[in-house]
């Protein structure tokens, strides 16, 4: 059987591949310390699990509306109004099988062959692949350690052509952990409006912030930019719900209707009782989020102290998400060889920056215990000494 050409255009997720190798080594009894995972290591908070268990016991086990449970759509709209100052109604929300599915759906709904999508690099691995699956053209705009991994308004303007459909903005960022300041968000918003393009704002890490960093939703900057904004987010990162598969999109009505139609012919509704867990996540106390962020704060500090003291590393202090993205270019080795050697000689798993479009960096996740961080960073330092 000949496979469709579109399959050949995409590459399997490299982050998942490294993680799979590390897990296989673990299964074989190797003492692997993993900094490659992109998910919180906490259990989903008990009140959220209890809400889903109750829904299951109450028989919430049947097909529901393709766009999501009405009460969840309402809870999401209220959250966006309250926390993000975005004037969405429940009708502007579609519940998806995670943030990844939100993004896939929106690409399907908006991209036509040849449409260009601007993606600041380093980027989350799935963005360009999704654009290609939808037959669009990803246009990467390179940012650097020196520019704090943030795209400037001039860089954005220079990348726009008559074929540009939208920009994908991800702040706080995976893989860099950087957060655009409110002023920077406003400056980007101005270009969006002036050049009449759209923005897809992936806000999945919005609650994971440090050192007083602020998250400003780009759609809240002005009515003009709100009309050109699509918000993609979900529950996975904020509430340690990666396996639940619940996310959402918020957008103007015609776009939401299009996504709902696509979803009605592909996945239909998200697992019904999982949606009840998500309702509890938004309708209950947010203390669980504070506790997780407090734990990340401590781990971040410890990892940062190690990374900024390793000779040959240049590491910025990220103010969001749970990743560090040190630059290794002074060591004269590419990111893939670096990470392979690190896994094989020190049994430490990290993700090569080449997966995210920058071959001179590696990504380390600190969604792991303090003890693992101490041990893993000692091993990393030993590895750098050995190759240096
Ligand atoms: C984790 C992640 C998502 C979505 O995750 P889901 O598990 O599908 O909700 C989206 N964007 C970025 C940048 C992420 O890191």
Q: Supply the CATH number for residue 231's domain.
A: 3.40.640.10
**Stretch 229-235: mean pLDDT, rounded?**
98
What per-residue confidence (pLDDT) applies to 16?
Answer: 67
Distances (CA, A) of 148 to 63, 290, 319, 327: 46, 26, 11, 12
What per-residue confidence (pLDDT) applies to 14?
Answer: 64
66 with 153, same domain: the answer is yes
* pTM strictly above 0.85: yes
Sort strands 137-142 and 116-121 into parallel, antiparallel or unpaired.
parallel
Ligand 1 near 170 CB (within 6 A):
yes
Q: pLDDT per residue over 11-28, tens digit each?
A: 776 666 777 888 899 999
- Give the number of other CB atoms < 10 A from CB of residue 33: 25
**388 confidence band (pLDDT: 50, 70, 90):** confident
In the beta sheet, which residues pair with residue 120? 141
Ligand 1 near 276 CB (within 6 A):
no
350 close to 309: Cβ distance less than 8 angstroms = no
What per-residue confidence (pLDDT) applies to 7?
Answer: 87
347 close to 13: Cβ distance less than 8 angstroms = no
Q: What is the mean pLDDT of the chain?
A: 96
**374 confidence band (pLDDT: 50, 70, 90):** very high
CA of 100 to the centre of ligand 1 (A): 5
Which of 103, 202, 238, 367 maximizes ligand 1 atoms within 8 Å of its Cβ, making it the mutation to test the pocket?
202
Rg (CA), the chain: 21
174 with 156, same domain: the answer is yes
60 with 159, same domain: the answer is yes
376 close to 36: Cβ distance less than 8 angstroms = no
CA of 311 to the centre of ligand 1 (A): 32
Residue 58 in this model has a pLDDT that exceeds 70: yes
**8 confidence band (pLDDT: 50, 70, 90):** confident
99 with 194, same domain: the answer is yes
333 with 382, same domain: the answer is yes
59 with 194, same domain: the answer is yes
165 with 94, same domain: the answer is yes
Q: Domain end: 248, 267, 283, which one?
A: 283
Q: Supply the CATH number for residue 363's domain.
A: 3.90.1150.10
Helix or strand or coil: residue 90?
helix
- In whole angstroms, give the CA distance from residue 96 to residue 74: 14
Q: Domain end: 248, 283, 318, which one?
A: 283
Q: What element of type H or E holds 129?
A: helix 126-133
Q: What element of type H or E holds 248?
A: strand 247-250
Which of 174, 230, 271 maximizes ligand 1 atoms within 8 Å of its Cβ, making it the mutation to test the pocket?
174
Question: How is 223-286 classified by DSSP, letter by letter?
Answer: HHHHTTEEEEEESTTTTT-GGG--EEEE--HHHHHHHHHHHHTTT-S--HHHHHHHHHHHHS-S
**Residue with token string 């709100």:** 226
What per-residue confidence (pLDDT) applies to 13?
Answer: 66
Residues 6+ apart with CB under 8 A from 148: 178, 316
Residue 6 in this model has a pLDDT that exceeds 90: no
133 close to 21: Cβ distance less than 8 angstroms = no
Higher pLDDT, 11 or 172: 172
Q: Domain end: 253, 283, 313, which one?
A: 283
CA 180 to chain centre: 15
**Stretch 41-65: mean pLDDT, rounded?**
97
Ligand 1 atom closest to 234 (CA) = 9
Ligand 1 atom closest to 246 (CA) = 9
* Count of domains for the chain: 2
What per-residue confidence (pLDDT) applies to 301?
Answer: 98
Ligand 1 near 278 CB (within 6 A):
no
248 close to 102: Cβ distance less than 8 angstroms = yes
The DSSP symbol for 91 reads G
Ligand 1 near 197 CB (within 6 A):
no
Domain that holds residue 347: 5-44+287-387
Strand ranges (E), 15-65: 33-34
**Stretch 66-78: mean pLDDT, rounded?**
98
Question: How is 276-313 classified by DSSP, letter by letter?
Answer: HHHHHHHHS-SHHHHHHHHHHHHHHHHHHHHHTTSTT-
pLDDT-above-90 percentage for the chain? 92
Q: pLDDT per residue over 89-142, tens digit each?
A: 999 999 999 999 999 999 999 999 999 999 999 999 999 999 999 999 999 999
342 with 215, same domain: the answer is no
**Residue with token string 């009894």:** 29
Which of 39, 100, 178 maximizes ligand 1 atoms within 8 Å of its Cβ, making it the mutation to test the pocket?
100
- In whole angstroms, give the CA distance from residue 18 to residue 129: 18
**Stretch 324-344: mean pLDDT, rounded?**
94
What per-residue confidence (pLDDT) applies to 145?
Answer: 85
CA of 94 to the centre of ligand 1 (A): 16
Ligand 1 near 242 CB (within 6 A):
yes
Distances (CA, A) of 35 to 112, 142, 334, 380: 37, 25, 18, 11
117 with 250, same domain: the answer is yes
- Look at residues 184, 178, 126, 214 and name the one whose alpha carbon lies nearest to residue 323: 178
Q: pLDDT per residue over 267-316, tens digit each?
A: 999 999 999 999 999 999 999 999 999 999 999 999 999 999 999 999 99
What per-residue confidence (pLDDT) applies to 11?
Answer: 78
pLDDT-above-70 percentage for the chain? 99
What per-residue confidence (pLDDT) applies to 222?
Answer: 98
- Look at residues 154, 158, 111, 164 and name the one whose alpha carbon lies nearest to residue 136: 111
Q: pLDDT per residue over 136-154, tens digit each?
A: 999 999 998 888 999 999 9
CA of 204 to the centre of ligand 1 (A): 6
277 with 381, same domain: the answer is no
Ligand 1 near 203 CB (within 6 A):
no
13 with 106, same domain: the answer is no
Residue 321 in this model has a pLDDT that exceeds 70: yes
Ligand 1 near 326 CB (within 6 A):
no
264 with 295, same domain: the answer is no
Strands of 323-324's sheet, edge to edge? 323-324, 362-365, 351-352
Which of 206, 234, 248, 320 maximizes ligand 1 atoms within 8 Å of its Cβ, making it the mutation to test the pocket?
234
**Stretch 4-9: mean pLDDT, rounded?**
87
């Amino acid at each position: 059987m000949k496979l469709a050409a579109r399959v050949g255009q995409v590459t399997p997720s490299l982050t998942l591949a490294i993680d799979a190798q590390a897990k296989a080594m673990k299964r074989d009894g190797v003492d692997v310390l993993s900094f490659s995972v992109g998910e919180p290591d906490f259990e989903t908070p008990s009140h959220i699990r209890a809400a889903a268990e109750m829904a299951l016991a109450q028989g919430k086990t049947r097909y529901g509306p393709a766009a999501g449970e009405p009460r969840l759509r309402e809870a999401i709209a209220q959250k966006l109004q309250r926390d993000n100052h975005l004037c969405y109604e429940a009708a502007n929300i579609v519940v998806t099988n995670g943030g990844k599915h939100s993004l896939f759906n929106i690409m399907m709904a908006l991209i036509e062959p040849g449409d260009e999508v601007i993606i600041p690099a380093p980027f989350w691995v799935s963005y360009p692949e999704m654009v290609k699956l939808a037959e669009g053209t990803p246009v990467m705009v390179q940012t650097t350690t020196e520019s704090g991994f943030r795209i400037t308004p001039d860089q954005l303007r220079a990348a726009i052509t008559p074929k540009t459909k939208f920009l994908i903005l991800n702040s706080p960022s995976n893989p860099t952990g950087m957060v655009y300041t409110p002023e920077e968000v406003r400056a980007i918003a101005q270009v969006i409006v002036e050049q009449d393009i759209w923005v897809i704002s992936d806000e999945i890490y919005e609650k994971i912030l440090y050192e007083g960093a602020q998250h400003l939703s780009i759609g809240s900057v002005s009515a003009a930019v709100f009309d050109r904004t699509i918000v993609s987010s979900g529950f996975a990162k904020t509430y340690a719900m990666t396996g639940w598969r619940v996310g959402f999109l918020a957008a103007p009505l015609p776009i939401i209707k299009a996504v709902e139609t696509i979803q009605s012919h592909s996945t239909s509704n998200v697992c019904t009782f999982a949606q009840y867990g998500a309702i509890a996540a938004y309708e209950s106390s947010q203390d669980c989020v504070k506790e997780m962020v407090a734990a990340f704060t401590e781990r971040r500090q410890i990892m940062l102290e190690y990374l900024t003291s390793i000779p040959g590393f240049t590491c910025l202090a990220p103010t969001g998400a749970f990743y560090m993205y040190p630059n290794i270019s002074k060591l004269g080795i590419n990111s893939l060889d670096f990470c392979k050697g690190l896994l094989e000689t020190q049994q430490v798993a990290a993700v090569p920056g080449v997966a995210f479009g920058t071959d001179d960096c590696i990504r380390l996740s600190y969604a792991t215990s303090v003890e693992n961080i101490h041990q893993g960073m000692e091993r990393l330092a030993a590895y750098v000494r050995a190759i240096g």
